[in-house]
Structure 1
Amino acid sequence: MSPLLTTLGGKLADRWSALLVLPGLLYLAVLAGAAVLGHRRWYDVSGLRDVLDKVAAAPAADSPGAIALAAVGVLVGAYGVDLAARGMGAALERLWLVDDRMTLTRRLTARRMRDWRAADDAFREALVAAGSARLTGDAAAADLAERASRRNAARNRIALAAPTRPFWAGDRLASAEQRVWEAYRLDLASAWPRLWLLVPDGARLELHTARWTLAAAHRLQAWGVLYAALAVLWWPAAFLGAGALALGMYRARGATSALAELVEATVDLHIRALAHELGIDCPGPPDQGTGRTLTRTLRKGT
């Protein structure tokens, strides 16, 4: 999925640049408050007010030059903190989407595979029981069908297809590639740059938005880590960090699903157009024959 994410992430820096300063300013304000309050008097708002009054009464507060330098320093600090959060968010994204090349990640993938297979077996057993009950006219057929539906949902919560990554997010995006291959025998990594040139602007905007939302969720997780680090100075910051981290993980899960669904939808809606542009006959609905021909053409024999 790396070519896909790179393509969709091309304009993220432009959208981020407008949002860099304000979160950094808020973080610096909390950092300053944490340094003043400490652990023992974490609730002492009046003490914080006294410190602010002393700063305002200092001789330098009447100097335009000192004020300008302080303002520039604060803005530069805010920008630097936000750049750090942005870099940490990118690192977290790589973590959640990592493959299983290392020993630890292979073990995590194997564990998820065992859980998925157990859930898949349970679903298939429930499905067979529901089918048998329906054929025999058993009154419990409806209840058995509902149980099969619940077990199917439990399996899909682990992964939509057999897991190949150590974490859910990586599997969810990889499942889009896997499902496209199973449906059309189309190599999505090779087809995506060509599909991207064919999709209309509206579809591109939706994909860009989903990609930006996913990156923003990872960035929120990074802010959670940074705020949690302030607990060294001021223990309530741990709750701020935990809240931001939990919210970021919740948003990332939804954004990952949305992006994967949009990728699959893009393939479903534009695979015929891609075949037509490459001179491949596709008179009816695209099938595996169309996908195989496209894959051979796009991979140029490799």
Structure 2
Amino acid sequence: MDKFWESLGGKLAERWLSVAAPALMFWLGGLLMWMIGRGGPAALRQPLTDLAKLPVGSQLIGLVVVLLGVAASGWIVTQLVNPVLRFLQGYGPLWRPVRTRLVKRAQTKFDEIGSEFAALAPAVLLTPDSATPQQRAAYVRLTRRQRRLPGPGRFMPTAIGNTLRAAESHPIDKYGLDVVTVWPHLWLLLPDVVRTEVAAARARLNAGVAAGIWGVLFTGFAPWSVWAVPTGLITMIGCYLVWLPGRTEAYADLVQSAIDLYRRALYEQLRWPMPGNPAEERASGRLLSSYLSRGLSGSTPTFVASSSE
């Protein structure tokens, strides 16, 4: 689904403020590092004096050049967000040496959670009145952890990758719907408020990735001040360990919820017969995904009249 959001985000990137504001903070931070390396605010005195001697036209041209440079650096970072996010998910050749070990660790974690859940579920589901608060709390915790793992054969080497892969794969297990295939179609059918919430969650996720990129780039100011290195590394590590997990989970939850609640609109708009039970729905969803992806031949299924006809 990254290509979908990349095409959508390209329009949002045209807004100068959303692109330039983080870049402006980055360059102001770089100016601060330069000042620290040159002895403090007094280092600006001579450059400002030289600037004041220039004609007004030259000053305006210099200001425009600076603003364009700031905006250009912000635009470049926005273009890096999707490739970096894919890397953080675990895609790419750089993961090859450790991918097998990390995927195996995710498989082990999945199996352990499944065993704990299987042992705990009867006490919570079959005899809820006698379940202890600790058992109920453990049940909620295990359910939440299961929601963040995609299942056998689909594991990724990182937690972020598993969370996003789970958002894509759980609808296949529940409804037979391939999210990568049906999401662009479903997106056009979602109410405006839902699309706004999902797009905002994706924008927050992208902003977290961009903040980590800015953190890495900030270490480039090290020749002026050694403080640039810990500042940049703390920003990068904080984004990956603190900021991104929550934003990834929020976005994944909204994607799954949108499919849970509005998949019926997809069936109706395509005049696809509604399944009558979960087993039928999984089979029908797989067929519908194939229809949207490659098309079908033959006389099944028989289209039904939409509610507006």
- TM-score after normalising by structure 2: 0.77
- Return the alpha-carbon distance in structure 2 between the equivalents of residues 262 and 154 of structure 1: 15
Matched, 1:86 2:78: yes
- The residue type equivalent to 1:14 in the other structure is E
- Whether the 8 Å contact between 1:34 and 1:234 is mirrored in structure 2 is yes
- Whether the 8 Å contact between 2:148 and 2:162 is mirrored in structure 1 is no
- TM-score after normalising by structure 1: 0.78
Q: Give the direction of change, closer, same or farther, for the CA distance of 1:5–1:67 in structure 2 (3 Å limit).
A: closer
- Return the alpha-carbon distance in structure 1 between the equivalents of residues 140 and 256 of structure 2: 24
- The residue type equivalent to 1:74 in the other structure is V
For residues 222-257 of structure 1, give each alpha carbon's deviation from its aligned partner in whole angstroms, at most 9, with x where no partner exists: 110111221232111123212322343233222221
- Whether the 8 Å contact between 2:19 and 2:75 is mirrored in structure 1 is yes
* Equivalence for 2:306: none
Matched, 1:65 2:57: yes
Q: Which runs of 5+ in 2 are unaligned?
A: 298-309
Which structure 2 residues correspond to residues 47-126 of structure 1 after superposition, within 5 A? 48-49=41-42, 51-58=43-50, 60-61=52-53, 63-99=55-91, 102=93, 105-126=95-116
* Equivalence for 1:265: 257
Q: 2:284 aligns with which of 277, 290, 302?
A: 290
Matched, 1:152 2:151: no
Matched, 1:232 2:223: yes
Shift of 1:182: 0.5
Matched, 1:189 2:166: no
* Equivalence for 1:19: 18
For residues 9-64 of structure 1, give each alpha carbon's deviation from its aligned partner in whole angstroms, at most 9, with x where no partner exists: 3533134x2233343344334334434543xx7xx32xx32x32223334853632
* Equivalence for 1:254: 246
SS of residue matched to 2:163: helix
Shift of 1:179: 0.5
Q: Give the direction of change, closer, same or farther, for the CA distance of 1:150–1:281 in structure 2 (3 Å limit).
A: closer
SS of residue matched to 2:13: helix
Bigger mean CA deviation after superposition, 253-262 or 81-90: 81-90
SS of residue matched to 1:165: coil
Q: How many residues align?
A: 289
Q: Give the direction of change, closer, same or farther, for the CA distance of 1:148–1:111 in structure 2 (3 Å limit).
A: farther
Across the aligned residues of Structure 1 and Structure 2, the Cα RMSD in angstroms comes to 3.4
Which structure 2 residues correspond to residues 129-168 of structure 1 after superposition, within 5 A? 129-130=119-120, 142=132, 145=135, 149=139, 152=142, 156=146, 159-162=149-152, 163-168=154-159
- The residue type equivalent to 1:18 in the other structure is L
- Whether the 8 Å contact between 2:13 and 2:78 is mirrored in structure 1 is no
Runs of 4+ in 1 over 6 A off after TM superposition: 131-134
- Return the alpha-carbon distance in structure 1 between the equivalents of residues 296 and 189 of structure 2: 23
- The residue type equivalent to 2:57 in the other structure is G
- The residue type equivalent to 1:31 in the other structure is G
- Whether the 8 Å contact between 1:112 and 1:166 is mirrored in structure 2 is yes
For residues 236-285 of structure 1, give each alpha carbon's deviation from its aligned partner in whole angstroms, at most 9, with x where no partner exists: 11232123223432332222212211111121112112112222222756
- Whether the 8 Å contact between 1:27 and 1:227 is mirrored in structure 2 is yes
Identity of aligned residues (%): 27
- Return the alpha-carbon distance in structure 1 between the equivalents of residues 73 and 52 of structure 2: 26
- Return the alpha-carbon distance in structure 1 between the equivalents of residues 96 and 140 of structure 2: 29
- Whether the 8 Å contact between 1:99 and 1:164 is mirrored in structure 2 is no
- Whether the 8 Å contact between 1:9 and 1:208 is mirrored in structure 2 is no
Shift of 1:124: 4.0
- Whether the 8 Å contact between 2:205 and 2:247 is mirrored in structure 1 is yes
Matched, 1:169 2:160: yes
Q: Which runs of 5+ in 1 are unaligned?
A: none
- Return the alpha-carbon distance in structure 2 between the equivalents of residues 112 and 297 of structure 1: 35
